[in-house]
Amino acid sequence: MPELPEVETLRRDLEREVSGKRVKTVDVPGRTAVTRQTKKQLASRLEGTKLGSVARRGLMLAVKLDSGELLVIDLGGTGRMRKASAREAMAKDTQVAVSFTQGGQLRLLDDGGEMDVWVATPEELLEGVPILGELGLDPFDEPISCTTFAHLLLRRRMKLRQVLGDPTAVVGIGPVYTDEILHGAGLRHERMSNELSSQEMRRLYRSLVETLHEAAKHRGTTLADGRYTDLAGKRGDHGSELQVYERDGKACYRCRGVVAKARIGGRQVYFCPSCQT
Ligand SMILES: [Zn+2]
């Protein structure tokens, strides 16, 4: 599923491509993405509005409309977004197609039923998705200080993989970047967050910030499934930079040890047994 660097890349793309455009018509050919309101309601609240800035709350995108409402797009694990010309054939899994008065379309696609699209007031959004009121640190929203991060680790008393995967601690980190951040810090998944030395906390902090920003600079990671692409349909370049994720059996770039794969807490994790302690 797309994680923070991928969704942030899409947010930046979206802001560049659709901000300032006015919605002409909205088609909802799909059945799974629009469930919080009827297709008609979605269309009538969108049509005629002008799109403004694009915010991100965790992994959810919210496009400001000049009506004061928000177009909310949650990709889930399977949703995708594309800009398209109106002439391009509509892909089978197109859920929503937004046409602009200046020409061109924004298409929202999903073949896995996890995408969630709706128009909401800011209050409706918070009511509909209560976790938005409890989101944790967001490294792209504002710089996190090392001290704030260290306090969080001390308070949580959880395994590192659980802290990193908890959106009320730090937003948007899934399986790929959990493994990458921990490798960068030289720490194992099962280490307890409140038992790190201050040097280890600093290493984890630095790795978290650097890993996510590097990945965003490379426009995200497209995995072997090819699912994630940017708004133009291009793959992210960060896949070739991954240090451990899906590299089991290969040499660790840092210590030449062999990258291992193990099942921990119900999912596969990748790590280097030699340089992660
Ligand atoms: Zn290693």
How far, in Å, is the centroid of ligand 1 from the Cα of 104?
A: 48
260 sits in which H/E element: strand 260-264
Q: Are residues 43 and 95 part of one domain?
A: yes
**pLDDT computed for residue 1 by the predictor:** 86
One-letter-per-residue 3-state SS of 104-162: CEEEEEECCCCCEEEEECHHHHHHHCHHHHHCCECCCCCCCCHHHHHHHHHHHCCEHHH
Whole-angstrom CA distances from 138 to 148, 169, 208 are 12, 9, 11
* 178 in the same domain as 252: yes
Domain boundary among 134, 157, 192: 134
CATH number at 233 reads: 1.10.8.50
Taking the centre of ligand 1 as the mean of its atom positions, its distance from the CA of residue 186, in whole angstroms, is 8
Domains: count for the chain: 2
Within this chain, do residues 225 and 112 fall inside the same structural domain, yes or no?
A: no
8 shares its domain with 107: yes
Q: What pLDDT does 172 receive?
A: 97
Cβ atoms 237, 245 nearer than 8 A: no
The answer on 241 and 151 residing in a single domain is yes
- Residue 106 is encoded by which pair of tokens? 């924004």
Residues 276 and 196: beta-carbon distance below 8 Å: no
Same domain, residue pair 74 and 180? no
Domain co-membership, 22 together with 116: yes
**Three-state SS across 231-246?**
CCCCCCEHHHHCCCCC
- Angle CA(186)–CA(191)–CA(194) in degrees, nearest 5? 110
pLDDT of residue 266: 85
Residue 140 falls inside a structural domain? no
pLDDT recorded at residue 146: 95
Residue 276 within a domain: no
- Tell me how far the alpha carbon of residue 180 lies from the centroid of ligand 1, in angstroms: 12
Residue 26 DSSP one-character state: E
Write out 50-110 in H/E/C secondary structure: EEEEEEEECCEEEEEECCCCEEEEECCCCEEEEEECCCCCCCCCEEEEEEECCCCEEEEEE
> Which of 84, 101, 134 is the last residue in one of the domains?
134
Q: Are 117 and 97 in contact (CB under 8 A)?
A: no
Q: Which mean pLDDT values do the consecutive 10-residue runs of the chain (277 residues) have?
A: 96 97 98 98 98 97 98 96 96 97 97 97 96 95 93 96 96 97 97 98 98 98 93 96 97 97 92 98
Would residue 139 count as lying in a domain?
Answer: no
pLDDT of residue 265: 80
Q: Could you tell me if residue 38 is inside a domain? A: yes
Based on the fold, state whether residues 87 and 176 are members of the same structural domain: no
CATH number of the CATH domain containing 52: 3.20.190.10
CA of 235 to the centre of ligand 1 (A): 27
C-alpha 221 – ligand 1 centre gap (Å): 21
Are 155 and 116 contained in the same domain? no
Contact 132, 60 (CB under 8 A): yes
Domain shared by 200 and 238, yes or no = yes
269 alpha carbon – ligand 1 mean position (Å): 15
- CA distance linking residue 260 with residue 241, whole number of Å: 17
> What pLDDT is recorded for position 21?
98
70 and 179 in a single domain? The answer is no
Residue 59 falls within a domain, yes or no?
A: yes
What is the domain range of residue 261? Answer: 146-271
The Cα–Cα gap between 89 and 16 comes to 24
Q: Among candidates 186, 175, 144, which has minimal Cα distance to 276?
A: 186
**Same domain, residue pair 156 and 256:** yes
Which pLDDT does position 217 carry in this prediction? 98
Task: Choose the final residue of a domain: 105, 134, 163.
Answer: 134
Q: Is 81 within the bounds of a domain? A: yes
Distance 242 CA to ligand 1 centre (A): 13
Rounded to the nearest angstrom, the distance between the alpha carbon of 206 and the centre of ligand 1 is 18
